[in-house]
Amino acid sequence: MAIKNAKNVSKMPNFWQIDHKVKNIFGIPGVVVLSSPDAWDKFSWTRKFFEEKPKEGYFVWVKREVSFPLSTCITIASPKISQNLRNLLVIEKGIKAKANVVCNAKEKKLCGIHKAKGKLILKEGVSLEYNHLHQWGEKDFVSPDYEFILEKNSRLIYNYKNLLPPENLEFKTKILSKENASSNLNLVVNSLNSKVKLQESVILEGRNSQSIVRLRLVGREKSQIEAVSQIFAKAPSKGHLDCQGLMVDKTAKISLTPQLICHNKEARITHEASLGKISEEELTYLRMRGLTEKEATDLIVSGFLNI
Amino acid sequence: MKNILLKIKNLKVKSNGKEILKGVNLEIKRGEVQTLLGPNASGKSTLSQVILGNPKYKITGGEIFFRNKKITKFPPEKRIKLGLALAWQSPPAIKGVKLSQLLNKISPKGLNLSEGKELLEREINLDFSGGERKISELLQVLALKPKLVIFDEIDSGLDIKRLETVAKIIKKELVVKGVAILIITHSGQVLNFLKPHIVNVIIDGKIVCRAKKYKKVLATIKKYGYQKCKKCK
């Protein structure tokens, strides 16, 4: 199921790694695609971003605009695999790009580990839509740690969806925004029998930089979510956090901490946050349209996650 | 007995510890158009919600029968399957879910729409005007292919032209096809279009009047207020 959906997002990924093996890799005119160890050897300038020689992962360097989305797929297909990826995406000045990134497990009970540390460099005037989809097995441990560097006048739309959660998810995102750069983050986590730690931080360090962060968390059976969502304004800038959690099951626990830090008196950062259960009135309304309680709950949750 | 679609016997209902319905009796036959008039807070909307099985209300006495089945303890979805439907007075918004998604779930084969096409791709009831809400409710009710529809204040928030359009659809899609209707209203404007066979007046949780000539009852209420109906007891 996970693989089938992954294929829908990206039929022929530019980079596809299964377990530790690169299954598919292809560049296109204007776009360099390599494994990260090869990029370390071939382009010495990448070393400052990787810090140490990577063992696995991908390097995508967009030098020219392409009319279709770039795509990568990292899959766990065998039991007890432990991936440790270093990924790097660099987009040159003024390019408009879209990337579909899928990380998944082929089966439900592979007990895999997926650790990914990545940097995404958006040079001046770049516009990137980055769609990140996670679909994991019930026993996986997943830990992505990504840093986005938004140079002057760049734009980022980052959509993260985790609809099939792993047993453990530790998700870190950091966005560094330079002058006039802007970001829209839409992060969706559906938690079921899982422990989730989310930590996102947007640093507005350039004049007129701005960011909107929308976080939607769903706590289903036996799930625990801890989310810390931060905007740090260092320059005259604007930011808004919109964090909402839906408690679907009585065994769910959600802790949500919106954090605003302001070091500039010309900056304006705001937040709204809420945690609560599904409205009884909405449930009853949909049941009076013939839906069972479960169907009504699923429809309300799907709407809640639709940001 | 075969002709009777809905039968309510001595229904008593509490909400938040307060008795709202104090022994309601009501019968609706197949294909019949009835109305329920009453002042604010007389129990009209509560009655409609209880008939449809809203779990918020506690039934403390009495019984509800629909198509000869005792449905007093049925969940709402089971009542819908039997052919009951309710157009809400103030329906809640369902964020992120388009009206077309819900209509597809109710009726996967699709609907023949003459009104409300512009609402289909909007989130259900979110920022809908009063009139748009009524059209949306009507579309959902029609999709359910019901045998009895309760319209709770379908005329509130509608201008006279929109009201006429809504009444025409109700007539064409429901009344003519033999679907029974209960119109809850406190203004009575819609009745001139739908001409009910029977008018019921509810005051303080009890139906105090049941008559055939709705115009006469409306005129009395207009002239003397609901106080006169109380004396009718």
Q: Using CA atoms in the order B4, B6, B11, B17, what is the torsion angle rounded to 10 degrees?
A: 180
Partner residue opposite A299 with nearest CB, options B81, B86, B97: B97
> By the CB < 8 Å criterion, does B77 face chain A?
yes
Question: Which residue does chain B place closest to A299, by CA atoms?
Answer: B97
Task: For chain B, give the mean pLDDT.
Answer: 92
Mean pLDDT confidence for A3-23: 72
Question: Which residue does chain A place closest to B101, by CA atoms?
Answer: A299
A27: Cβ contacts below 8 Å, ≥ 6 apart: A14, A33, A34
d(CA B48, CA B89): 10
* Per-residue model confidence (pLDDT) at position B145: 94
* B171 pLDDT tier (thresholds 50, 70, 90): very high
Angle at the Cα of B54 from the Cα atoms of B230 and B199, rounded to 5 degrees:
30
* A231 pLDDT tier (thresholds 50, 70, 90): very high
| Shortest distance, CA B76 to any CA of chain A (angstroms) | 5
Mean pLDDT confidence for A40-46: 97
Chain A partners of B128 at a C-beta cutoff of 8 Å? Answer: none
B50 — phi, psi (to 5°)? Answer: -70, -40
> By the CB < 8 Å criterion, does B108 face chain A?
no
| Shortest distance, CA A291 to any CA of chain B (angstroms) | 6
CB contact under 8 A, B91 and A306: no
> By the CB < 8 Å criterion, does B52 face chain A?
yes
Partner residue opposite A291 with nearest CB, options B55, B86, B105: B105
CB contact under 8 A, A289 and B106: yes
Nearest one of B101, B230, B85, B211 to B150, comparing CA atoms: B85
pLDDT over 70 at A57, yes or no:
yes
> By the CB < 8 Å criterion, does B86 face chain A?
yes
* Per-residue model confidence (pLDDT) at position A9: 39
Test mutation, B105, B107, B121, B136, chain A, max A CBs within 10 A? B105
* Per-residue model confidence (pLDDT) at position B231: 67
* Per-residue model confidence (pLDDT) at position B184: 95
pLDDT over 90 at B66, yes or no:
yes
Question: Which residue does chain A place closest to B53, by CA atoms?
Answer: A288
Instruction: Tell me if the pTM is above 0.90.
Output: no
What percent of chain A is predicted at pLDDT more than 70?
96
Partner residue opposite B144 with nearest CB, options A289, A302, A303: A289
Whether domain B4-92+146-232 has CATH 3.40.50.12170: no
Test mutation, A288, A299, A307, chain B, max B CBs within 10 A? A288
* Per-residue model confidence (pLDDT) at position B232: 63
Question: Which residue does chain B place closest to A303, by CA atoms?
Answer: B96
| ipTM, two decimals | 0.96
CB contact under 8 A, A285 and B97: no
Partner residue opposite B86 with nearest CB, options A282, A288, A293: A288
Chain A partners of B53 at a C-beta cutoff of 8 Å? Answer: 287-288
What are the DSSP E strand ranges found in A70-126? Answer: 70-76, 82-91, 96-105, 113-122
User: Do β-strands B18-29 and B4-15 pair in parallel, antiparallel, or remain unpaired?
Assistant: antiparallel
d(CA A263, CA B55): 51
Q: What are the extents of the domains in chain A?
A: 2-304
Chain B partners of A302 at a C-beta cutoff of 8 Å? Answer: 96-97
* B226 pLDDT tier (thresholds 50, 70, 90): confident
* Per-residue model confidence (pLDDT) at position A1: 33
pLDDT over 80 at A4, yes or no:
no
B4-15 sheet: strands from edge to edge: B18-29, B4-15, B58-66, B69-70
B216: Cβ contacts below 8 Å, ≥ 6 apart: none
Which residues of A lie closer than 8 Å to B, measured between beta carbons?
279-282, 284-293, 295, 299-300, 302-307
CB contact under 8 A, B80 and A282: no
d(CA A265, CA A179): 17
Chain A partners of B76 at a C-beta cutoff of 8 Å? Answer: 284, 287-288
Q: How do residues B93-138 score in pLDDT, each as one tens digit?
A: 999 999 999 999 998 777 777 788 899 999 999 999 988 999 999 9
Given a contact cutoff of 8 angstroms between Cβ atoms, the answer to whether B162 and B154 are in contact is no
